[in-house]
Amino acid sequence: MADKPMTGQAFFVLTALADGPRHGYGIVGEVAGLSGGRVRLKIGSLYGVLDRLSAEGLIEPDREEAHDGRLRRYYRLTRDGRGALAEEAELRAATARVVRSRLGLAAEAAG
Amino acid sequence: MSGDLERRYRRVLRLLPGYYREQWEEDMVAALLDGWLTGDPEADEYISKAARPSWAEVASVAGLAARRYLGGAGAPRRYFAWGQAVRRVVLAVMLVHAVLGLGVLVRTAWSRHVFRWLPAPPASLMTVSPGGVWLTVYYVVNVAWIVIFVALVLGHYRTARVIAVLAIVPDLVALLQAQLTGTMPVPFGPWAFWVLLSLAPVLAMAAFHRDAPPAARRPWLLALPAGYLLVAVPLLAVQATGNFAWLPDFPGLCCLLVALACLAHAPRAWSRRADGSGVWSLALTLLAAVAGAYRIFSLTDYLHDPHLINVSLAELLLLVIAVALVAPDAARAQAATPAPPPYPHTMAA
């Protein structure tokens, strides 16, 4: 079975959880901030991603907190999730280095 | 405080399957309301009364619901069986389009003497093609169906979806043009073809999502030349003789092919030891429903000819008998299909 690459949305959600647990809307806000407003997760997309990451063992529920009479569920990265995020970040950084080099941006920045 | 808005959101979330709502609904409602409410009771009361779920939110929930009902790896058995069955139905319909497309290309090449070793095609095989820009569109669309089928089999779902949406537009334009200018020769047949065999399968391509297991490449890819050689070529040969009396029309051919497939699959469906036979039974039952509906709507073409009506009804009867052989297995499939585990996750490029 072919391995599947991580989607952009999954990458942003994992990144949003990298510095601590967050609840659903907290993740939406953090992803919007991280992406400079380019990625605005709708509820169907968010829970599609959370469901998949949870099934793959990359995130897990952290705790539930009552807020204005509603229960907020917080999610956190698992050890596998941390590893997967680090690996993906490294891959993206390596790709970005190649792109910058091919566009001549690295030389310009150095110069 | 959030009563009205919460009710509206819960109504939208009813689109999702029950098992999914049980797991995620409270969390989803909390996340949705967090996006609106400010913590100021007065403002929140106003917002709760006035705010409505946006169309984008509703669409995203509908998309999620479609992906869950037509489940992939890790989905509950029932939804996985439906997902697999719908994916096979879509592939089968795309295969039909691809074989038709291949047929058009081969016939065109033959009539233009590309196959120099073949004699010129008989007059009975010379079809009337549209002229001008429509001729180009006609060829492009026929090639597109082959590309769509191959892209789906190879797992390029997004490419297949985009091309498929574009491929069904020219037919719609032609149908609307014929309808509005009054040149449409028959009222229901072409529309039934477009709705049942073009629009519906393209919409059902939602079943090809990230969690969908890949199609078995080899058999599906081989099915294209096999379908052409075993179905299209014999029909072409009969057509070449100029004797059309023995040829079923296209809706009839669809009924007969699905009936034959049901008969071929029936021994497997009746042997309970055959693993995974139920998904094929469910797929064949769905295909029979599509072919049967197409046959029924196309009957209006023959209202003037009782003989053709009788032939069509006989085709329908054969289809019903054949599908009755696999329908019990299809019903069992919804509870008996094991879903494979979710995909292992790696950071492939």
Task: Give the pLDDT band (50/70/90) at residue B332.
Answer: confident
Q: How far apart are CA B213 and CA B215, in angstroms?
A: 6
Task: Give the pLDDT band (50/70/90) at residue B347.
Answer: very low
Which of B2, B15, B34, B54 would best serve as a mutation to test chain A binding (most A beta carbons within 10 A)?
B34
Residue A18 vs residue B242, higher pLDDT? A18
Dump pLDDT digits (tens) for A25-46.
999 999 999 999 999 999 999 9
How confident is the model at residue B159, as a pLDDT?
A: 96
What integer is the mean pLDDT of A73-95?
Answer: 95
* B35 and chain A in contact, CB less than 8 A: yes
Enumerate residues 6+ apart whose C-beta is below 8 A from B338: B77
ipTM (interface pTM): 0.81
* B62 and chain A in contact, CB less than 8 A: yes
How confident is the model at residue B71, as a pLDDT?
A: 86
Is B326's pLDDT higher than 80? yes
Dump pLDDT digits (tens) for A43-57.
999 999 998 899 899
- DSSP one-letter string for chain A: ---BPPPHHHHHHHHHTTTS-EEHHHHHHHHHHHTTTS----HHHHHHHHHHHHHTTSEEEEEEEEETTEEEEEEEE-HHHHHHHHHHHHHHHHHHHHHHHHTTHHHHHH-
CB-closest option in A5, A23, A42 to B57: A42
Kindly provide the b/e burial profile for residues B84-100, where b requires at least 16 CB atoms within 10 angstroms of the residue's own CB: bbbbbbbbbbbbbbbbb
Q: How far apart are CA A47 and CA A9, in angstroms?
A: 11
How confident is the model at residue B290, as a pLDDT?
A: 97
Chain A residues lying within 8 Å of B43, measured CB to CB: none
CB-closest option in B61, B348, B349 to A44: B61
Q: How far apart are CA A101 and CA A95, in angstroms?
A: 10
